[in-house]
Amino acid sequence: MIIDGEEKYVMTVIMAAGKGTRMKSEKSKLVHKIYDKELVKRVAELASKVGSDEIVTVVGHLREEVEEVLGDSVKYAYQDELLGTGHAVMQATKYLEGKKGKVVILYGDVPIIRKETLENLIIKSFKNKEYATLLTAIYDNPTGYGRIIRDEGGNIKAIVEEKDANMYEKEIKEINSGIYCFDIEELLSALKDIKPNNAQGEYYLTDVIKIMNDKGLKTGAVIVEDNTEILGVNDRAQLELLTRVLRMRINAEHMRRGVTIEDASSTYIHDNVIIGVDTVIHPNTTIKNGVIIGSNCEIGPNAYIREGCLIGNDVKIGNCVELKKVKIGNRTKVPHFIYLGDTEIGEDCNVGCGTITCNYDGVNKNKTIIGDRAFIGSNVNLVAPVTLGDDVLIAAGSTITEDVPSNNMGIARERQTNKPYKKK
């Protein structure tokens, strides 16, 4: 990580060993998803985005599922007995030994911290020469959280867990999020001194703060501006809550950048989506990861834009349309009840109602290419692989299995036959 032009070493340790029994699931809580991305993967990607030189994930229960998601993007430590947060970090000490710099402690089930918030925590820890920097929050109802104990000068003196707090300490509204940035060498030293002398009989990572203070080492905190960032997932209701929070956060950012979203509560825009100014998103629209949409487009309602789509300017995507790996040129209209998959379509085209690309033959995905100014009639099947040239007209009701050259009309349907019929 570069701070004031100087390279600083940062490691991240992700806690991911818990059982997550309240999820009532046969799979690890950490591989449940928000917007198609596993909780633990979101945390690992955050660690990478802030410039971590190494990422270590402490795994335990159903570790193979977490390892399958993260692969070789991280290193692994193993916690076979769940004896507290301090004990979990102890399992990663082999990666910390001999290193100088900072180590950030994150949790695999706290997945929506903003990159800017974590960067602020790390930068403050380095610039203020703090041996421990905590991410804290102010809660009107702090029940269940560890309380931040400060001295008369405002310095953090200790953290007291809810079950160990006295009646005065429970009145404190500043709470510990559990996210830290530690000096590596002093953390290793403090871990040797923590004891399970508490109501739970566990090794608390919070005891490290008191140990550092007793040694006269400087500690500090960053108070998070948005408390939703430190929300964790313990059950399905909390998973839905965080999905909702992320949805509103993403939608709000697009609106700030000039996109009209008619109903933010029913619009699902996933991560890493780019949308141009003056584009209008109608209700019940889903736009998945990595999609790029140009300016002055109209999307929805009931549109489903999947991965791999690149949509030009002034494009109309109407109701009940599904797109997957589609490139659409400027000013093209895809109005309603249409499926396009693995398709490139040029500029100034019109795709009729009920059109589908038959892109999957049961084994392979095949491509459909459509030139500029094509007019595709209603209820057309385009059986890939197939190429349509520029200025092509496809008659309604056709099933196209062969290429159609430019300036041609494609018709592929049986001649109509009328036969006598008497209604019974």
User: pLDDT per residue over 279-314, tens digit each?
Assistant: 999 999 999 999 999 999 999 999 999 999 999 999
With contact defined as beta carbons under 8 Å apart, do 305 and 291 qualify?
Answer: yes
Confidence of residue 3 (pLDDT cuts 50, 70, 90): confident
DSSP 357-401: EE-B-SS-B--EEE-TT-EEPTT-EEESSEEE-TT-EE-TT-EE-
The pLDDT value recorded for residue 407 is 97
Residue (of 117, 111, 107) closest to 34 by Cα position: 111
What is the CATH classification number for the domain harbouring 403? 2.160.10.10
The pLDDT value recorded for residue 382 is 98
Which of 214, 230, 246 terminates a domain? The answer is 230
Average pLDDT over residues 397-405: 96
Do residue 122 and residue 61 come from a single domain? yes
Do residue 33 and residue 172 come from a single domain? yes
Which helix (H) or strand (E) element contains residue 64? helix 63-70
Q: Looking at the domain assignment, is residue 424 inside a domain?
A: no
**Rounded Cα–Cα distance for residues 10 and 178 (Å):** 18
Average pLDDT over residues 125-137: 95
Residue (of 188, 205, 209) closest to 196 by Cα position: 205
Confirm whether 282 is a catalytic residue.
Answer: no
The pLDDT value recorded for residue 176 is 94
pLDDT tops 90 at residue 418: no
Do residue 20 and residue 163 come from a single domain? yes
pLDDT tops 90 at residue 421: no
The pLDDT value recorded for residue 138 is 96
Average pLDDT over residues 155-171: 88
| Distances 35 to 19, 22, 151, 276 between C-alpha atoms, Å | 22, 21, 43, 21
Q: Looking at the domain assignment, is residue 143 inside a domain?
A: yes
Largest CA distance in the chain: 100
Average pLDDT over residues 47-67: 96
Do residue 223 and residue 296 come from a single domain? no
Q: What is the pLDDT of residues 246-269, one digit of tens each?
A: 999 999 999 999 999 999 999 999
Q: Name the pairing type of β-strands 375-376 and 368-370.
A: unpaired
pLDDT tops 90 at residue 139: yes
Residue (of 18, 10, 14) closest to 40 by Cα position: 14
The pLDDT value recorded for residue 158 is 86
Which of 211, 230, 249 terminates a domain? The answer is 230
The number of C-alpha atoms within 13 Å of 209 and in the hemisphere containing its C-beta is: 27
**Length, in residues, of the chain:** 424
Do residue 44 and residue 166 come from a single domain? yes
Q: Looking at the domain assignment, is residue 132 inside a domain?
A: yes
Burial of 18 (0-12, 13-18, 19+ CB in 10 A): buried
Q: Looking at the domain assignment, is residue 247 inside a domain?
A: no
Q: Looking at the domain assignment, is residue 266 inside a domain?
A: yes
Which structural domain, as residue segments, surrounds residue 22? 2-230
What 3-state class would DSSP assign to 43? helix
Residue (of 240, 241, 266, 267) closest to 254 by Cα position: 267
Do residue 221 and residue 261 come from a single domain? no
Going 205 to 75 to 288 to 22, the CA torsion angle's sign is negative
Helices (H), 182-334: 184-191, 207-214, 236-256
The pLDDT value recorded for residue 197 is 80
Q: Looking at the domain assignment, is residue 423 inside a domain?
A: no
For the chain, what percent of residues have pLDDT higher than 70?
100
What pTM did the predictor assign? 0.91
Do residue 38 and residue 159 come from a single domain? yes
Tokens of 159: 């953290």
For the chain, what percent of residues have pLDDT higher than 90?
86
Do residue 87 and residue 155 come from a single domain? yes
The pLDDT value recorded for residue 378 is 97
What is the tally of structural domains in the chain?
2
Helix, strand, coil: what percent of the chain each, to 5? 25, 30, 45
Among 158-162, 167-171, 215-219, 323-327, the range scoring the smallest mean pLDDT is 158-162
Do residue 214 and residue 129 come from a single domain? yes
Do residue 293 and residue 199 come from a single domain? no
Confidence of residue 157 (pLDDT cuts 50, 70, 90): confident
Q: Looking at the domain assignment, is residue 416 inside a domain?
A: no
- Which residue in the block uniquely carries the two structure tokens 């009646």? 167
Residue (of 71, 83, 6, 17) closest to 44 by Cα position: 71
**Rounded Cα–Cα distance for residues 45 and 115 (Å):** 10
Do residue 39 and residue 162 come from a single domain? yes
Select which of 61, 87, 254, 336 is catalytic: 336
Confidence of residue 238 (pLDDT cuts 50, 70, 90): very high
| Distances 328 to 22, 296, 350, 369, 388 between C-alpha atoms, Å | 44, 14, 11, 10, 14
Average pLDDT over residues 116-135: 96
Tokens of 22: 């309240």
**Rounded Cα–Cα distance for residues 50 and 119 (Å):** 6
The pLDDT value recorded for residue 4 is 85
**Chain centroid offset of residue 18 CA:** 21
Q: What is the pLDDT of residues 328-363, one digit of tens each?
A: 999 999 999 999 999 999 999 999 999 999 999 999
Residue (of 318, 406, 407) closest to 369 by Cα position: 406
What is the Cα Rg of the chain in Å?
Answer: 28
The pLDDT value recorded for residue 92 is 97
Do residue 118 and residue 215 come from a single domain? yes
Which of 189, 214, 230 terminates a domain? The answer is 230
What is the CATH classification number for the domain harbouring 208? 3.90.550.10
pLDDT tops 80 at residue 153: no
Considering 16-25, 318-327, 412-421, the range whose residues carry the highest mean pLDDT is 318-327
**Rounded Cα–Cα distance for residues 191 and 236 (Å):** 34
Residue (of 269, 271, 315) closest to 290 by Cα position: 271
Q: Is 101 left (phi over 0), alpha (psi -120 to 50) or beta?
A: left
Q: Looking at the domain assignment, is residue 237 inside a domain?
A: no
